């Protein structure tokens, strides 16, 4: 888990992925792949093969906030970078790229309904605007301040969405010994603000098949929306989400591989939220796309929770998909 810890602790909100990109490149180059970066900033690792082009994608960015204005009293107004759950922000800590930590606060200490983003601000303890501007300026981004914790097979951290997907791709690159396919491992940027990096990378590659690797919600908590995915249940094979209806052939192959190799799996139908699979599927004249997801609780929070056994199941299924001859 040391590599995963390094990945999640890198701070890289959408559009500011330099730190995590450098780490991904260093790790990817260890496995003998041809590694390049496209114009938008996505990392593409290519293992040449004679078969169909198979693209595997995980995004490297995370949600965050961006400073928009500093008030005379030193409080920082901010906007969203990605899908923030505004009702969960109050009294959360955020960390700017220079290490400055602040607390998200609300104009109303107690509120009966979800506050508007304009009613929230970040308090970095500055006495006035001049003091704040020495530390933060408009345009600076910040991410949740939440460290990596492991207890047994349970891990908790910020940015498991989707650094754990990047981790699983890197481990798959390491494990694949021989593939009949032309393999492309894509570590895409700006997923949280519109699936952007995967779209341009897929246009560059034009694969016949693609598998998006991301996290997914679970239905195993009290009072949560019903969903046939749980922590500890194995890899989640995506059937659909709000962005895509997965190709039935891809879904069928992934299920067959899981059953053949004894890999625990579950069927994912995610009613709220989308993934890079949606953008990839609509590239060019179309790509046969599917997804392998990691069951994760408390997505888009500083305390995302996942199971190591599920991570291992996802890696095994991804490896099997790379070694399968796609026709």
Reported CATH class of domain 2-62+158-323 = alpha beta
Is pLDDT above 80 for 110? no
Beta strand pairing status for 76-81 and 64-70?
Answer: antiparallel
What is the arithmetic mean of pLDDT over 279-306?
Answer: 96
User: What are the distances in angstroms from CA 88 to CA 48, 64, 183?
Assistant: 45, 13, 40
* CA neighbor of 165 nearest in space, from 104, 83, 220, 238: 238
User: What are the distances in angstroms from CA 129 to CA 7, 72, 75?
Assistant: 34, 5, 7
What is the arithmetic mean of pLDDT over 117-123?
Answer: 92
Is pLDDT above 80 for 114? no
pLDDT, position 94: 96
pLDDT, position 224: 81
> pLDDT tens for residues 153-207?
999 999 999 999 999 999 999 999 899 999 999 999 999 999 999 999 999 999 9
Are 69 and 216 spatial neighbours (Cβ–Cβ below 8 Å)? no
Is pLDDT above 80 for 315? yes
| Mean per-residue pLDDT of the chain | 94
Beta-carbon neighbour count of residue 245 at 10 Å? 14
What is the arithmetic mean of pLDDT over 230-235?
Answer: 96
What is the arithmetic mean of pLDDT over 229-253?
Answer: 96
pLDDT, position 39: 96
Q: What is the pTM of this model?
A: 0.94
**Residue 86 — very low, low, confident or very high, per pLDDT cuts 50/70/90?**
confident
Q: What percent of the chain has pLDDT over 90?
A: 87
Maximum distance among all Cα pairs of the chain, rounded to whole angstroms? 64
Is pLDDT above 80 for 113? no
User: What are the distances in angstroms from CA 237 to CA 24, 60, 129, 149, 288?
Assistant: 25, 21, 50, 26, 15
CATH number of this structure's domain 64-144: 2.40.30.40
**Residue 62 — very low, low, confident or very high, per pLDDT cuts 50/70/90?**
very high
Is pLDDT above 90 for 77? yes
Q: What percent of the chain has pLDDT over 70?
A: 98
Is pLDDT above 70 for 112? no
Q: How far apart are the first and last CA of the chain?
A: 35
Residues with catalytic function: 191
DSSP notation for 66-107: EEEEE-TTS-EEEEEES---GGGTTT-EEEETTS-EEEEEES
Is pLDDT above 70 for 132? yes
Residue for token pair 């997965």 = 246
CATH 2.40.30.40 in the chain, residue ranges: 64-144
pLDDT, position 146: 85
CATH 3.40.630.10 in the chain, residue ranges: 2-62+158-323
């Amino acid at each position: 888990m040391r590599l995963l810890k390094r990945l999640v602790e890198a701070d890289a909100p959408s559009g500011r992925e330099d730190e995590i990109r450098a780490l991904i490149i260093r790790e990817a180059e260890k496995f003998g792949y041809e590694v390049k970066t496209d114009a938008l900033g996505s990392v593409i690792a290519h293992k040449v093969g004679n078969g169909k082009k198979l693209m595997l994608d995980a995004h490297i960015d995370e949600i965050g906030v961006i400073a928009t204005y500093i008030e005379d009293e030193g409080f920082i107004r901010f906007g969203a970078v990605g899908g923030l759950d505004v009702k969960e922000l109050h009294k959360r800590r955020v960390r700017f790229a220079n290490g400055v930590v602040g607390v998200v606060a609300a104009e109303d200490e107690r509120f009966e309904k979800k506050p508007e983003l304009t009613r929230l601000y970040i308090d970095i303890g500055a006495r006035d605007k001049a003091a704040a501007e020495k530390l933060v300026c408009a345009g600076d981004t910040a991410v949740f301040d939440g460290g990596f914790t492991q207890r047994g097979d349970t891990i908790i951290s910020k940015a498991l969405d989707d650094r754990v997907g990047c981790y699983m791709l890197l481990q798959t690159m390491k494990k694949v010994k021989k593939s009949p396919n032309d393999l492309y491992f894509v570590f895409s940027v700006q997923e949280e603000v519109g699936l952007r990096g995967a779209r341009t990378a897929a246009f560059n590659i034009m694969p016949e098949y693609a598998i998006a690797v991301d996290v997914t919600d679970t239905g195993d908590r009290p009072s949560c929306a019903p969903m046939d995915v749980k922590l500890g249940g194995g890899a989640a094979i995506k059937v659909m989400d709000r962005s895509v209806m997965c190709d039935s052939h891809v879904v069928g192959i992934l299920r067959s591989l899981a059953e053949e190799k004894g890999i625990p799996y579950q069927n994912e139908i995610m009613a709220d939220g989308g993934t890079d699979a949606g953008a990839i599927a609509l590239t060019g004249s179309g790509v046969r796309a599917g997804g392998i997801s990691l069951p994760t609780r408390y997505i888009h929070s500083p305390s995302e929770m996942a199971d190591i056994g599920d991570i291992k199941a996802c890696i095994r299924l991804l490896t099997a998909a790379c070694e399968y001859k796609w026709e």
